[in-house]
Amino acid sequence: MSLRLALCGCSQALQWSDCLQRLDGVSVTTVADADPAVAEAAAPQFGTASRVASCEQLLSTAGDNWDALVISGELAGSAEVTQNALAAGKPVLLENPPQETTTLTTLDAVAADSQVSLMVGGSLRYAPALSTVQQSVASGQIGAPGLLRAHRWVPAADITVEASLENGLLLDEVDLALWLFGQLPNHVLTSSSMAPGTDPGCVQIHLGFPDNGMALLDWSALVQGAGYFSLSLIGSQGAAYADDHHNTQLLFQGGAPAGLNTTGGTCGRLGQLREFIAAIAEARTPGCTISDACAAAQVHQAACDSLNTGQAFRWTGEAYQSCN
Amino acid sequence: MGNGESKKRFRAAVLSVVKHAYVPNGVAAHPRFELAVVADDADQPDWVHQRNEAFAYQHNIPYVRDVAQALTDYDVDLAVISSEAERHCDLGVRAAAAGLHVILDKPLSTQLSECDRLVAEVDERGVKSLLWNRNYLPALVQARELVQSGTLGQLQAIHVDFYFAKDAGPPRGSRGPDDPPINWLESLIAAHVDGSDGGVGNKPMGELEIEGIYPLAYIRMLSGVEVEKVFARTAAHFHQRNVDNQVDDLATVTLQMQGGLIGSLCIGRIGAASHPDIGEIKLHLVGSEGSLVISEARPEVAVYYRGQDRQEFPHRRIAGENDFLLMENFAQAIDHNGPTILDVRGGRQIAATVAAALESGQSGQLVRVS
- The complex's ipTM works out to 0.94
Contacts of B288 in chain A (CB under 8 A): 223
Asked if A93 and A233 sit in the same domain, the reply is no
Average confidence (pLDDT) over A246-263: 89
Task: Provide the 10 A C-beta neighbour count for residue B248.
Answer: 27
The reported pLDDT for the residue numbered A198 is 61
The answer to whether residue A284 sits within a structural domain is no
The reported pLDDT for the residue numbered A324 is 80
Nearest CA in chain B to A207: B233
Asked if A101 and A201 sit in the same domain, the reply is no
The reported pLDDT for the residue numbered A114 is 92
Helices and strands in chain B, H and E counts: 12, 15
Q: Which helix or strand (DSSP H or E) is residue A167 part of? A: none
Task: Quote the DSSP letter at residue B25.
Answer: H
Asked if A314 and A195 sit in the same domain, the reply is yes
The answer to whether residue A45 sits within a structural domain is yes
Asked if A7 and A82 sit in the same domain, the reply is yes
The answer to whether residue A272 sits within a structural domain is no
For residue A179, give the 3-state DSSP assignment.
Answer: helix
In degrees and rounded to multiples of 5, residue A200 shows phi and psi of -60, -40
Longest dimension (CA), chain B: 65
Q: How far apart are CA A200 and CA A188, in angstroms?
A: 18
Angle, to 10 degrees, between the axis of helix A267-281 and the axis of helix A128-138?
50
Contacts of B291 in chain A (CB under 8 A): 153, 220, 222-223, 228
The reported pLDDT for the residue numbered A1 is 67
* Portion of chain A with pLDDT greater than 90, in percent: 71
Is-contact B331 B340, C-beta < 8 A?
Answer: no
Domain boundary among A55, A84, A116: A116
The reported pLDDT for the residue numbered B5 is 56
The reported pLDDT for the residue numbered B6 is 73
Q: Is the peptide bond before B299 cis (omega within 30 degrees of 0)?
A: yes
Q: How far apart are CA A171 and CA A271, in angstroms?
A: 20
Domain boundary among A54, A85, A116: A116
The answer to whether residue A254 sits within a structural domain is yes
Q: With CB atoms and an 8 Å threshold, state whether B365 touches A192.
A: no
Asked if A164 and A35 sit in the same domain, the reply is no
Contacts of A310 in chain B (CB under 8 A): 366
What digits encode the pLDDT tens for the residues A67-120?
A: 999 999 888 889 999 999 999 999 999 998 988 889 999 999 999 999 999 999
What digits encode the pLDDT tens for the residues A281-312?
A: 999 999 999 999 999 999 999 999 999 999 99
The reported pLDDT for the residue numbered A101 is 87
Asked if A36 and A88 sit in the same domain, the reply is yes
Q: Is the peptide bond before B107 cis (omega within 30 degrees of 0)?
A: yes
CATH of residue A88 = 3.40.50.720
Q: Which domain holds residue A207?
A: 128-263+297-322
The reported pLDDT for the residue numbered B42 is 98
Asked if A185 and A316 sit in the same domain, the reply is yes
The answer to whether residue A212 sits within a structural domain is yes
Asked if A64 and A140 sit in the same domain, the reply is no
The reported pLDDT for the residue numbered A63 is 81
Asked if A314 and A207 sit in the same domain, the reply is yes
- Per-residue pLDDT of chain B (370 residues), as tens digits, is 565 457 899 999 999 999 989 999 999 999 999 999 999 999 999 999 999 999 999 999 999 999 999 999 999 999 999 999 999 999 999 999 999 999 999 999 999 999 999 999 999 999 999 999 999 999 999 999 999 999 999 999 999 999 999 999 999 999 999 999 999 999 999 999 888 899 999 999 999 999 999 999 999 999 999 999 999 999 999 999 999 999 999 999 999 999 999 999 999 999 999 999 989 999 999 999 999 999 999 999 999 999 998 888 999 999 889 999 999 999 999 999 999 999 999 999 999 999 999 999 999 999 999 9
The answer to whether residue A283 sits within a structural domain is no
The reported pLDDT for the residue numbered A53 is 86
Q: How far A234 CA lies from chain B's nearest CA (Å)?
A: 7
Residue type, A194: M
- List Cβ neighbours of A282 (8 Å cut-off, separation of 6 or more): none
Q: With CB atoms and an 8 Å threshold, state whether A187 touches B291.
A: no
Residue A242 pLDDT > 80, yes or no? yes
Q: What is the number of domains present in chain A?
A: 2
Is-contact A8 A84, C-beta < 8 A?
Answer: no
CATH of residue A169 = 3.30.360.10
Is-contact B174 B311, C-beta < 8 A?
Answer: no
Domain boundary among A83, A116, A149: A116
Region class of B260: left (phi > 0), else alpha (psi between -120 and 50), else beta? left
For chain A, what is the mean pLDDT?
Answer: 91
Asked if A155 and A235 sit in the same domain, the reply is yes
Q: Which helix or strand (DSSP H or E) is residue A14 part of? A: helix A13-20
Is-contact A142 A239, C-beta < 8 A?
Answer: yes
The reported pLDDT for the residue numbered A264 is 67
Interface test with chain A among B238, B267, B291, B362, by most A beta carbons within 10 Å: B291
Query: CB-CB: which of A194, A206, A236 is closest to B231?
Result: A206
The reported pLDDT for the residue numbered A54 is 86
Asked if A145 and A209 sit in the same domain, the reply is yes
Query: CB-CB: which of B156, B237, B295 is closest to A146?
Result: B237
Residues of B with CB under 8 A from a CB of A: 153, 156-157, 159, 161, 163, 165, 171-172, 231, 233, 235-238, 250-252, 254, 256, 260-262, 264, 266, 268, 270-271, 273-275, 280, 282, 284, 286, 288-291, 293, 295, 363-366
The reported pLDDT for the residue numbered A62 is 81
Asked if A167 and A314 sit in the same domain, the reply is yes
Nearest CA in chain A to B158: A202
The answer to whether residue A271 sits within a structural domain is no
- List Cβ neighbours of B367 (8 Å cut-off, separation of 6 or more): B229, B230, B231, B356, B357, B359, B360
What digits encode the pLDDT tens for the residues A195-239?
A: 655 666 899 999 999 999 999 999 999 887 889 999 999 999 999
Delineate the domains of chain B, giving CATH numbers in brackets: 3-127 (3.40.50.720), 138-368 (3.30.360.10)
Residue A19 pLDDT > 60, yes or no? yes
